Amino acid sequence: MDPAASKARLRLWLKLLKATKHVEGELRENLRVTFDTTLPRFDVMAALYRAEPGLKMSELSSVLRVSNGNVTGIVDRLVDDGILVRIPVDNDRRATTVRLTNAGREQFALMAASHEVWIDTLLAEIDLGDAQGMMNQLERIASKSKKKEA
C-alpha cells in the first residue's frame, strides 16, 4: 500500500462526498421552489418514466435501492395527486404495479428538462473530456461493486 496514494484517495472520497452533497442540496432546493416537489418524488417518477409499462412496488424499491416502506408513502401521495396509478398484478393479490399517468409523464418531462439545465449549470466548469474521464473512473469503481454482488 502506497501511503501517499492512500491519503490522496481518502481526500478524493471526501471531495466527492462534499460535491455530491452540494449538488444534491441545490437540486432539492430547485425542485422545491420550482415544482413544489421533493427529490425522492422526482426519483420515483424518473424510475417509472424509464419503465413506461410500470414496475411492481418491489421492483421500484430495488431500482431506487430503498426499502418498500420508504417507497410506499411516496407512491401513495403520487397516486393521490393523480401522478401515478396502481394496477393489480394478475395471479398475485398482494402485488401491484405502479405507472405514471399521462399527466405524470408530462409533469416529469418538464421537471427532467429543468433538472438537466440545473446539472449542466452546476457542472459547467467541467469540460466534455473531463466529464467523460470522470465517468469512466467512477464506472470502474461501480463495476467492482457489481462483481462483488454477483
User: How confident is the model over 70-90, as pLDDT tens digits?
Assistant: 899 999 999 999 999 999 988
The pLDDT assigned to 92 comes to 80
The pLDDT assigned to 103 comes to 97
The pLDDT assigned to 89 comes to 86
The pLDDT assigned to 59 comes to 95
User: How confident is the model over 106-150, as pLDDT tens digits?
Assistant: 999 999 999 999 999 999 999 999 999 999 999 999 888 766 766
- Nearest 5°: the CA angle 143, 147, 150 is 135
The arithmetic mean of pLDDT across residues 12-26, rounded, is 97
The pLDDT assigned to 113 comes to 98
The pLDDT assigned to 146 comes to 66
The pLDDT assigned to 98 comes to 97
pTM of the shown model: 0.88
Position 16 pLDDT exceeds 70? yes
- Residues, the chain: 150
Q: List domains and CATH numbers for the chain.
A: 18-124 (1.10.10.10)
H helix or E strand, kind and range, residue 28: helix 3-35
Report the mean per-residue pLDDT for the chain: 94
CB proximity list for 45: less than 8 A, separation 6 or greater: 78, 83, 100, 104, 107, 108, 111
The pLDDT assigned to 68 comes to 86
Position 48 pLDDT exceeds 80? yes
What is the three-class DSSP state of 60? helix
